[in-house]
Structure 1
Amino acid sequence: MADNKINFTKAALDALPLPEAGNRATYHDIKTNGLQLRVTSSGAKTFSLFRRVKNGSPERVTLGRYPDMTIEQARTEATRLNGLLVQGINPNTDARALKTETTLQELFDYFLQHRRTKRGAFLSEKTKRSYRYDFGLYLSKWSKRKLSQFKDTDFGKLHTEIGKEHPTTANRVIAMASSLFSFANEKKLFKGANPAHGIQKFPENPRDRFLQADELPAFFSALAEEENDTLRDYFLISLLTGARRSNVQEMQWSQINFDRAEWRIPTTKNGEPQTVTLTAEALEILRSRKTHNAGPWVFPGTGATGHIVEPKKAWKRVLERAGIDNLRIHDLRRTLGSWQAKTGASLAIVGKSLNHKSPSTTAIYARLDLDPVRESVDRATGAMLAAGGVKPAGDVLRIDAKSKKKSG
């Protein structure tokens, strides 16, 4: 048996000779107590754990087939089972052995419930929704797989597959998977190398797309032709406030103060509230919606949330009518900031308007009130609307199909 004690490495296992027909050879890992590799004459190589339980009887637990199960995974699982044997739990007969091995779904559910940010806060509901969406779309196919059964090649292939069309999404999904396994290590739910760590990210080019002056007439015309007034107004408010997409979707009437022309967002992406100044055009849109909307949401929807969620079809219709390519809903936020800069606003004012936060500008933001922000937003939106042919400079106009026909 001494000759069959070896250090399990890929090179060593790949080079093992096959036994004679009808025979089977057993090799013992010198690094992990009880870990064996059984080799048949047909070339099948299977990891197992061989130990004697408390009453002295021998027990063998089959772990997995090499190379589908890696050496590292076999050692991790053997170490886990050795721990169970010490507790008097027989992995072959005791259901507790199976229950102690965490699945990816169990880890994900526990992660959403107990994960904290660097500041010590639990994950926001918005972040949880984003994680659930990505998990359901890309990782749920592995929901029942035990953590010790994952290989780095699993996530490497997944990253490549997603990245063929969506490189940014691919990077985000792998980052989430890596966070899951790091959390599992931290909580002692998993022992071993993080299989989603160290995957080279796809390059992400920062977007600088926004509506140019020559695109605005067609854009406003396409919006005026949109029959769904809820989605049309959603796009307009997104443009005129520069607020993040999710915040506009979740806008509630209780957050709007018509007298002060302000919208108070309780929580934003950076974890802090934001007061958004509302231009005369934005107020006119909201007042019109208020007269026909008795519910809590400014932009109600038919789904479980009660508000609109992903108006991709309507956005596609608008862009096709306008003949505009490569413009995302989030680019409306960048459009306001860009037009503020075009009309003379300082970077501090733009940052305050859009609720950007960085260490170098936080102190400046804190000293700003809404008056210069309001002036800048008014000036920028006025310039956009004038460039789009929607209104003469200085006028206030309701932007909808009716007013468009009058002005056209």
Structure 2
Amino acid sequence: MPTVSEFFIEYGKRHGQKKRSWRDDQQRFRDYLKDPLGSRKLSLVTREMVGRILSDMERDDKAGATVNNVRALASALFGKAIEWGYVTENPVRGIKTRKTVKRDRFMLGHELPRFFAALADEPNTTIRDYLLLSLLTGARRANVLEMRWAEVDLTEATWRIPRTKNDDPQNVTLSPEAVMLLEQRKVLASKSAYVFPGTGASGHLVEPKKGWKRIFDRDELNQLELLIQPKNPKSPKTNVRLNMSEAALEKLLIETRAQAVKLGIDVESARMANLRIHDLRRTLGSWQAKTGASMAIIGKSLNHKNQATTAIYARLDLDPVRQSVNTATTAMMEAGGMKEKVEVVRLQTVRN
């Protein structure tokens, strides 16, 4: 009888690696199932154990969709364990799915200048460019992470994604800002097949969450210092933070929060709350709508797919999509206080 971790390896080899969501399944297993269940024998996992994991996720304010995805993975694992003769019962059976609320969060006009300023201080150029290109294209996270130079035509300003979440290919129009970013990125990453190379087995960047958190840690630190300064003019202003380590940044943020609390400052209001990497995609769509794009154009540019709009999308070429993306990009850059395109794309001089 294998342990849950041992069976997950077998599950991956025999079934999981064929799934489009396999990389996501690995992340979900690692983050939510491995520690509480990994060392237990399959036959000893109970419904109560699985239920406690999902309840703990809810307590930690995980989205209903995230909880349901972990539940689905656990159910799939034990489904295969039954099929392959290891166990006879699925402990997930009887555990209800959670109610999901569709997110509508995107980056607001007053948040864009703060985001760009904090992004400019990010020392990891791969992370910085990945997040900026995610905003400029509105493409899904996995597609941007796996973006290859062979898929990019800078002359035509297009990016051909061979296979998307919808199982269809997609032509992504690249705004002038995105083209300039990629032209300069090619100088940095031309030796790799990937636009955003990584050091792991995949060859490309896999997990940008730590870099995403650093962006908002820097912004919060900046905001707290601005709030502290009028109440304590002698408080030194940190010259952030280009070469500051992650540990040093976290330590400084904790100390600055404590100082702000002593001065009676509401520290909760200093952070841009509840923003996720996927919200960059929603941000482009929101700014397209704000600048007058039709729902059909937005759906085409973001590769949304449903029965009501598929026929409309099929009749659209890239010209109106390009115009809409370019208009929205310009509006976002202007709202972010970024007037020069070169400054927008690079956000800072490439450090050699």
Q: TM-score range by the shorter chain?
A: 0.7 to 0.9
Structure 2: tracts of 5 or more residues without a match: 221-271
Query: What is the SS of the residue equivalent to 2:345?
Result: coil
Matches of residues 101-120 of structure 1 in structure 2 within 5 Å?
104-105=4-5, 107-115=7-15
Distance 1:167 1:384, change over 3 A: closer
Please name the residue that 2:204 is paired with: 307
1:20-70: per-residue Cα shift (whole Å, max 9, x none)? xxxxxxxxxxxxxxxxxxxxxxxxxxxxxxxxxxxxxxxxxxxxxxxxxxx
Please name the residue that 2:213 is paired with: 316
Please name the residue that 1:179 is paired with: 76
Please name the residue that 2:117 is paired with: 221
Instruction: With a CA cutoff of 8 Å and minimum separation of 6, indicate the structure with the bigger relative contact order.
Output: 2
Distance 1:314 1:131, change over 3 A: closer
Q: Percent identity?
A: 50
Q: CA deviation at 1:202?
A: 3.3
Distance 1:356 1:132, change over 3 A: same
Distance 1:258 1:111, change over 3 A: same
Using the TM superposition, name which of 106-115 and 345-354 deviates more: 106-115
Using the TM superposition, name which of 146-155 and 359-368 deviates more: 146-155
Amino acid at match of 2:331: A
Find the structure with the greater CA-based Rg: 1
- Find the partner of 1:170 among 37, 56, 67: 67
Q: CA deviation at 1:167?
A: 4.7
Please name the residue that 2:335 is paired with: 387
Please name the residue that 1:400 is paired with: 346
Report the aligned-residue RMSD. 2.7
CA distance in 2, matches of 1:177, 1:349: 38
Q: CA deviation at 1:341?
A: 0.9
1:274-316: per-residue Cα shift (whole Å, max 9, x none)? 1110000000011011123222121122233222222233222
Query: What is the SS of the residue equivalent to 1:371?
Result: helix
Please name the residue that 1:5 is paired with: none
Matches of residues 4-403 of structure 1 in structure 2 within 5 Å?
104-105=4-5, 107-115=7-15, 122-124=18-20, 127-140=21-34, 142-143=37-38, 145-165=40-60, 166-168=62-64, 169-185=66-82, 187=83, 189=85, 192-294=88-190, 295-323=192-220, 324-391=272-339, 398-402=344-348
Contact 2:37 2:45 survives alignment (8 Å): no
Query: What is the SS of the residue equivalent to 1:291?
Result: helix
Distance 1:318 1:188, change over 3 A: closer
Amino acid at match of 1:374: R
CA distance in 2, matches of 1:388, 1:268: 30
1:146-185: per-residue Cα shift (whole Å, max 9, x none)? 5444332221222223332135433322211112233344
Contact 2:338 2:344 survives alignment (8 Å): no
Amino acid at match of 1:180: L
Task: Give the paired residue count.
Answer: 295
Distance 1:149 1:379, change over 3 A: same
CA distance in 1, matches of 2:210, 2:312: 40
Query: What is the SS of the residue equivalent to 1:276?
Result: strand
Q: CA deviation at 1:227?
A: 2.6
CA distance in 1, matches of 2:84, 2:194: 43
CA distance in 1, matches of 2:106, 2:216: 13
| Structure with more strand by fraction | 1
Structure 1: tracts of 5 or more residues without a match: 1-100, 404-408
Distance 1:247 1:151, change over 3 A: same
| Structure with more helix by fraction | 2
